[in-house]
């Protein structure tokens, strides 16, 4: 909705802007026109100058040649009335122009026309100088404005401008609101679509096509989502089914192998072979449950039993379990917990977190058959718990390392990376991050970073 | 529960094994028989299990969660309506674990396939003992053991040395009992604190250290160079060299 408000305000502002620009253009044009007209009339002789061109010497009137030319060019005739209203001098006077005028005649033609001739008059000491133009060449209209109005012009003009602006803005607002109202459902539709909700918009009105398009896209998205979910569910269910089906025969294999291994009547050699079958079956068991867990974590189908728990006791328990499980002497597991991390609480699933740490330690043991020193460190830094599991063994192969640190890579069974993949998935499910590194002096280090939950706030 | 009177030990219990896989039925029966159980009945589905249950009145049931004509959980509820028979579930799916935990398994337990025979026997015996011999377990005599020349009797909480007899305090007793139960294994500081104070290690580090030191003064001939109660740096303690009597 915020973007919609932005669109609306832009729309209104631009409409108001356009109105103002048009107004300014009009004013400019008017000003230019006025100035130009003024310049034209300045170049030419004014009526006053022409009137002055008529001189009287020794009782005879004579017109200067320049004035005569000008009259011939721009007007049709000229005359001079004495104070009694008689024509005392004339030039090219037409037959339909009377030679004698009463006061009312004079008042009439100065204001309107003289027998349809547009006329211009200028007062001279000896009478009234009158110029006549061609019929129908000039439109005359007398404008009268009360003085009071003229005095208020400076107030009126800005007021009218402001009124124009306000009207423009109001109209723009009106149209903008209408646009806004028709766009609002569309915007909501797009928002819903982004939020993965199904959208069904009304398709009438000018934006109907657009709404129909959005409806179609939404329907397609819903369909795709359903197909994807179905596929994910099918895959997880399939893996769960396969692991279920493997477990029953594996129970028989393990059960009998175990009995054979403990059978005193068999030779040592055969009992050892039964032991190998048992150990390998246990590996299959681990693999099956890892695969199951990995697929469920991948598609968010693993229910998390989240509790606030301290990592320090959890790590002590995992490490003690490893040491108690009969680790041979060539492996050392060292646990170091910094003082400030002793009571750091995280929100997590205890079993899954234990599994993540156990997978890392187990991985170091399995990939370094000649023994190694495994260091488990817990530190606190800026709202996070940092858990390091490192060893001084052979390190990760380059391509394994790349795959592990590649956040997009999905379940991948190559090179027994499943255990580590699960670690990454578990940490991700807890809102943490995982980094896999090789150490320069040999060996590897995995850093798990968990957000700490505040001690006195329940989370 | 009238049967309890006739039973001297868990091996006298009549066990009903419900699993749709005939070979697994056979194997479980063999494992139990080899261990000493003699009264064994089998069923392949819910229908048969109901019949057998009503007919034979078993003392314990090993029940597959996933049966061809129904669900082991529902079957257990039916059994529970008429008797308190302990049930050991056999589950083949990780998903079952959540449902099983949701049951709040009182006298019961579950085991995930595939399992080792040893594990099955241990769990079954534990389930049966909890149901039928709880008093016997409680009355059980506590162990008496030696650390070198020092004899410890957990019944009286007394430590006998050449010099004479000492008595363990309640906390020392709790710690030593926990260490003895896990003898030869590392016991984390957290487990020890939970045994003695019902809480994790955090905040009890010094208290634990003080109590361990006092305990060593009683059970070690040279408390400053302990031979039996060892410190495992960063983790906890370990009781070694236990000579059980």
- The answer to whether residues B126 and B12 belong to one domain is yes
Q: How many CB atoms lie within 10 A of CB A34?
A: 10
Q: Which domain holds residue B154?
A: 144-244
Token pair 């790590």 is found at: A315
pLDDT surpassing 90 at residue B29? yes
Indicate if the pLDDT at residue B1 is higher than 50: no
* Cβ pair A248:B234 closer than 8 A: no
Ranges A72-76, A87-91, B52-56: which has the least confidence: A72-76
* Cross-chain Cβ contact A251/B113 below 8 Å: yes
Q: Do B69 and B53 lie in a common domain? A: yes
Residue B27, pLDDT above cutoff 90: yes
On whether both B162 and B195 belong to a single domain, the answer is yes
The whole-angstrom distance between A201's CA and the closest CA on chain B is: 41
Please indicate whether, in this complex, the C-beta atoms of A316 and B92 are within 8 angstroms of each other. Answer: no
* pLDDT in the model for residue A397: 82
B174 and B221 housed in the same domain: yes
| Residue of chain A nearest B99, judged by CA positions | A303
Phi, psi values for residue A435, rounded to 5°:
-130, 135
Cα distances (angstroms) measured from residue A263 to each of A268, A381, B35: 10, 55, 13
Take residue B15 and report the two structure tokens written for it: 């066990």
The reply to whether residue B200 touches residue A313, judged by beta carbons under 8 angstroms, is yes
State the Cα–Cα distance between residues A191 and A199, nearest whole angstrom: 10
The tokens describing A444, both together, are 């590897």
Q: Quote the tokens at residue B37.
A: 């159980």
CATH for B89: 3.40.50.2300
Q: What is the C-alpha to C-alpha distance for residues B101 and B79, in angstroms, rounded to an integer? A: 19
DSSP per-residue string spanning A13-66: HHHHHHHHHHHHHHHHHHHHHHHHHHHHHHHSPPHHHHHHTEEEETTEEEE-HH
Identify the CA nearest to A281 among candidates A258, A312, A311, A303. Answer: A258
Claim to verify: residue B171 and residue B197 sit in the same structural domain: yes
A240, A251, A310 member nearest B93 (Cβ): A240
Contacts of B108 (CB under 8 A, 6+ apart): B76, B86, B87, B88, B89, B127
pLDDT of residue B106: 62
| B121 and A CB contact within 8 Å | no
pLDDT at A179 over 60: yes
DSSP character string of A288-353: HHHHHHHHHHHTT-S----EEEEHHHHHHHHHHHHHHTT--TTEEEEEEE-GGGTT-EEEE-HHHH
B122 touches chain A (CB under 8 A): no
Residue-wise pLDDT tens digits, A221-256: 888 888 988 888 888 888 888 888 888 899 999 999
CB-nearest to B117 from A259, A281, A316 is A259
Share of chain B above pLDDT 70, in %: 90
Q: Do B97 and B44 lie in a common domain?
A: yes
Do residues B90 and B156 share a domain? Answer: no
Dist. CA A87–CA A95, nearest whole Å: 13
Mutate which of A242, A248, A350 to disrupt the B interface (most B C-beta within 10 Å)? A248
Across-strand partners of A435?
Answer: A447
The answer to whether A337 contacts B234, with C-beta atoms less than 8 Å apart, is yes
Report whether pLDDT(A354) > 90: yes
Question: B181: closest CA among B233, B232, B239?
Answer: B239
State whether residue B235 sits within 8 Å of chain A by CB.
yes
Same domain, B20 and B109: yes
* CATH at B200: 1.10.10.10
Pairwise CB contact (< 8 Å): B235 & A253? no
Look at residues B137, B159, B184 and tell me which one is the last residue of a structural domain: B137
Contacts of B32 in chain A (CB under 8 A): none
Same domain, B130 and B170: no
Q: Residues A180-234: pLDDT tens digits?
A: 888 888 888 888 888 878 888 887 777 788 888 888 888 888 888 889 888 888 8
Asked if residue B109 and residue B9 are part of one domain, the reply reads yes
Determine the Cα angle at A161 with ends A156 and A163, to 5°. 90
Final residue of a domain: which of B73, B108, B137?
A: B137
Predicted complex: ipTM over 0.85 = no
Structural domains counted in chain B:
2
For an interface test with B, the pick among A257, A260, A308, A320 (most B C-beta atoms closer than 10 Å) comes out as A320
Residues B164 and B111 in one domain: no
| Cβ–Cβ below 8 Å for A335 and B234 | yes
For the stretch B159-183, pLDDT in tens is 998 888 889 999 999 999 999 989 8
CB pairs under 8 A between A and B: 98
- For residue B99, the chain A residues in CB contact (below 8 A) are none
Co-location of B35 and B111 in the same domain? yes
**Cβ under 8 Å to A: B residues 98-117:** 98, 112-117
Question: Of B102, B117, B137, which residue constitutes the final position of a domain?
Answer: B137
Mean pLDDT along residues A329-350: 88
- Asked if the Cβ–Cβ distance from B117 to A255 is below 8 Å, we say yes
């Amino acid at each position: 909705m915020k973007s919609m408000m932005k669109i609306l305000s832009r729309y209104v502002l631009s409409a108001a802007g356009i109105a103002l620009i048009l107004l300014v253009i009009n004013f400019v044009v008017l000003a230019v026109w006025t100035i130009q007209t003024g310049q034209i009339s300045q170049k030419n002789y004014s009526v006053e100058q022409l009137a002055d061109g008529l001189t009287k010497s020794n009782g005879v009137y004579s017109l200067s040649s320049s004035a005569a030319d000008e009259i011939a060019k721009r007007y049709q005739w000229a005359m001079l009335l004495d104070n009694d209203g008689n024509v005392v001098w004339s030039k090219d006077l037409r037959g339909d122009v009377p030679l004698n005028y009463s006061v009312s005649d004079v008042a009439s033609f100065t204001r309107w026309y003289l027998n349809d001739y547009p006329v211009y008059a200028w007062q001279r000491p000896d009478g009234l100088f009158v110029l006549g133009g061609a019929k129908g060449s000039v439109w005359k209209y007398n404008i009268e404005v009360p003085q009071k109005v003229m005095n208020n012009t400076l107030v009126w003009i800005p007021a009218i401008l402001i009124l124009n602006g306000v009207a423009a803005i109001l109209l723009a607002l009106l149209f903008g609101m209408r646009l806004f109202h028709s766009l609002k459902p569309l915007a909501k539709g797009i928002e819903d679509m982004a939020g993965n909700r199904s959208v069904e918009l009304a398709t009438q009105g000018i934006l109907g096509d657009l709404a129909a398009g959005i409806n179609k896209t939404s329907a397609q998205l819903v369909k795709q989502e359903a197909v994807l979910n179905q596929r994910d569910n099918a895959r997880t269910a399939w893996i769960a089914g396969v692991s279920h089906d493997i477990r029953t025969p594996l129970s028989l294999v393990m059960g009998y192998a175990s009995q054979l291994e403990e059978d005193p009547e068999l030779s040592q050699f055969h009992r050892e072979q039964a032991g190998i079958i048992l150990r390998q079956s246990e590996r299959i068991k681990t693999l099956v449950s890892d695969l199951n867990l990995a697929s469920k974590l991948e598609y968010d189908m693993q229910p998390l039993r989240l509790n606030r728990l301290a990592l320090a006791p959890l790590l002590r328990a995992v490490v003690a379990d490893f040491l108690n499980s009969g680790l041979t002497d060539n492996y050392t597991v060292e646990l170091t917990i910094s003082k400030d991390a002793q009571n750091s609480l995280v929100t997590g699933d205890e079993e899954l977190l234990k599994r993540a740490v156990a997978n890392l330690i187990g991985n170091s043991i399995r990939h370094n058959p000649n023994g190694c020193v495994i260091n488990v460190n817990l530190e606190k830094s800026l709202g996070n718990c940092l858990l390091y599991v490192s060893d001084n063994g052979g390190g990760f192969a380059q391509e394994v390392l790349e795959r592990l640190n590649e956040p997009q890579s999905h379940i991948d069974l190559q090179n027994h990376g499943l255990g580590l993949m699960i670690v990454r998935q578990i940490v991700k499910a807890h809102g943490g991050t995982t980094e896999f590194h090789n150490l320069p002096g040999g060996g590897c280090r995995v850093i798990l970073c968990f957000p700490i939950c505040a001690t006195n706030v329940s989370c | 529960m009238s049967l309890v009177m006739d039973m001297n030990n868990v091996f006298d219990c009549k066990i009903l094994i419900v699993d749709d896989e005939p070979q697994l039925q056979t194997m479980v029966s063999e494992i139990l028989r080899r261990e000493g159980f003699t009264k064994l009945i089998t069923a392949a589905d819910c229908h048969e299990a109901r019949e057998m249950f009503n007919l034979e009145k078993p003392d314990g049931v090993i029940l597959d969660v996933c049966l061809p004509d129904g669900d082991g959980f529902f079957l257990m509820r039916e059994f529970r309506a008429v008797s308190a028979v302990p049930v050991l579930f056999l589950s083949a799916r990780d998903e079952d674990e959540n449902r099983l935990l949701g049951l709040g398994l009182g006298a019961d337990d579950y085991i995930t396939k595939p399992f080792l025979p040893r594990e099955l026997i241990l769990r079954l015996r534990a389930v049966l003992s909890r149901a039928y011999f709880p008093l016997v377990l409680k009355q059980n005599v506590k162990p008496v053991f030696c650390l070198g020349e020092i004899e410890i009797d957990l019944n009286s909480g007394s430590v006998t040395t050449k010099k004479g007899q000492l008595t363990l305090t309640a906390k020392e007793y709790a710690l030593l009992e926990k260490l003895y139960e896990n003898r030869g294994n590392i016991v984390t500081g957290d487990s020890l604190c939970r045994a003695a104070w019902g809480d994790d290690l955090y905040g009890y580090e010094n208290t634990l250290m003080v109590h361990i030191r006092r305990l060593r003064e009683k059970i070690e001939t040279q408390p400053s160079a302990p031979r039996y109660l060892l410190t495992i740096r960063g983790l906890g303690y370990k009781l070694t060299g236990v000579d059980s009597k």
